[in-house]
Amino acid sequence: MNKKPFLNYINRYIHLTIEEENLLFSKIIERNYLKDQYIVQQGDTCKTVNFIISGCTKTFYMNTDGQEHIVGFSIEDWWTSDLGSFITQTPADFNVQCLENTKLFQFTYDNLEELYEEIPKLERLFRKITERAFVASQKRIIRNFSLSAKERYQIFKTTYPKIEQRVPQYMIASYLGITKEFLSKIKSQMTQER
Amino acid sequence: MNKKPFLNYINRYIHLTIEEENLLFSKIIERNYLKDQYIVQQGDTCKTVNFIISGCTKTFYMNTDGQEHIVGFSIEDWWTSDLGSFITQTPADFNVQCLENTKLFQFTYDNLEELYEEIPKLERLFRKITERAFVASQKRIIRNFSLSAKERYQIFKTTYPKIEQRVPQYMIASYLGITKEFLSKIKSQMTQER
DNA sequence: GATAAAAGTTAATCTAGTTTAACTTCATTT
DNA sequence: AAATGAAGTTAAACTAGATTAACTTTTATC
């Protein structure tokens, strides 16, 4: 178990003693998923929050006529879960599926509750992480309302250049809230403009 | 200073001793704003997070050609701020303006940082509040992509019946991401269907 | 290296929602 | 109670993006 990436990550927010680090890692489960496997399925209760060591996931909602709406992608050094399902321990609205073979550090609900008691600093860690995630989510809502599909695509490209290269176009279209055909049109427009 | 509504609110998440309560309230500033006054202005750094005792606010983004995009409304027992600006202490993306005379409990950045040190339970409180806000924000993104304007309006009406009655229609249209003219059309459709 | 399946492209047609503009209703001030 | 302005309505013309469908390119499989 290579603890480095996760320690580097949490050190951006809090500092733990050696004892705390050991306690923390004693409750983390390392797990590997294969490409296409599901970490969470819509309707199941989400059992874990997951830190990605390597790999890539998509979080999506599938509506009744089988249309897939992508809420987000996650890669190394970020989290993946259905947080709503996890915190309330009720059925998930979203699916989380691996787009590559993916290695995770998993926190189960009970383990995380115990850790919050044992290492109160972790409350701060997750408070700060969630604050940032919330702010990003609010900004995305406004962008979706106030910008055209082309502008949103350009922002996506500059904000998440790594993700753009790892994920098929039709999923990016879904993330942007447009059809794959329209994204294709936007891209051909953009090459002509150059 | 009537502490009851705020104490009832936080008791849903954490329990404080009398000493902790006293310390908490010693750092809360009660403040009244008049209708139309700004609590935060786009470009300024947001100095406070604010719990609403009475009144109503809107949070909105104003784009370069003066178009207003409403991120959200807040009423009694909820929070209002530009959280992104507050946590990073950088210029705000959003405006927060009172739609009614509004009474707030304000936490300044420094007071809140001190309180986190003095009452670690508050980290848990704000972690949980932010988790819920993030989950709601994610669900809104999906609804905006997967539902028609009419469906979104119907959900708004049932989810926030109190807000619908206190806020002008053109602001609700902005919140839903549509024009006031189109909301008007939706409403007339809905009355004809009955 | 042939074949099939998945991903991406192009173009015609269509529609949900926008824009513009004139009009009505309601609230506020004098 | 008249006058002004803000909020809401209606309808015609318009457009960003969806839908449908045929086609091409890439990737995976035998």
pLDDT one-digit tens code per residue, B136-156: 999 999 999 999 999 999 999
pLDDT score for B177: 96
pLDDT score for A66: 83
Percent of all residues in chain B with a pLDDT value above 70, rounded to a whole number: 99
A69 touches chain B (CB under 8 A): yes
pLDDT score for B162: 92
* Residue A70 contacts residue A174 (beta carbons within 8 Å): yes
Gap between the Cα atoms of A45 and A52, Å rounded: 20
pLDDT score for A1: 87
Confidence of residue B1 (pLDDT cuts 50, 70, 90): confident
CA of residue B47 relative to chain centroid, distance: 15
Q: Which of B46, B130, B143, B151 to mutate to test the interface with A (most CBs of A within 10 A)?
A: B130
pLDDT score for A194: 63
Q: Where are the alpha helices (DSSP H) in B83-120?
A: 83-88, 109-118
Show Cβ contacts of residue A14 under 8 Å, excluding neighbours closer than 6 positions.
Answer: A121, A122, A124, A125
Q: What is the mean pLDDT of chain B?
A: 96
Confidence of residue B66 (pLDDT cuts 50, 70, 90): confident
pLDDT score for B194: 63
pLDDT exceeds cutoff 80 at B91: yes
pLDDT score for A64: 84
User: Residue B17 to residues A112, B5, B12, B26: CA-CA distances in angstroms?
Assistant: 25, 17, 15, 14
**Which CATH number among 2.60.120.10, 1.20.120.1200, 3.40.50.1100, 2.40.50.140 corresponds to the domain B4-121?**
2.60.120.10
DSSP helix/strand/coil, A176: helix
Structural tokens at position B59? 């949070």
pLDDT score for A180: 97
pLDDT exceeds cutoff 80 at B29: yes
User: Residue A188 to residues A34, A193, B160: CA-CA distances in angstroms?
Assistant: 34, 9, 42
Nearest one of B135, B193, B190 to B158, comparing CA atoms: B190
pLDDT exceeds cutoff 90 at B192: no
A9 touches chain B (CB under 8 A): no
Confidence of residue B48 (pLDDT cuts 50, 70, 90): very high
CB of A150 lies under 7 Å from some atom of strand D: yes
Q: How far does A30 lie from chain B, in Å, by closest CA?
A: 24
* DSSP-derived secondary structure for B48-70: EEEEEEE-EEEEEEE-TTS-EEE
Structural tokens at position A1? 């178990």
Domain spans of chain A, in order of start? 4-121
* Residue B91 contacts residue B49 (beta carbons within 8 Å): no
Tell me which residues of chain A have a pLDDT lower than 70: 194
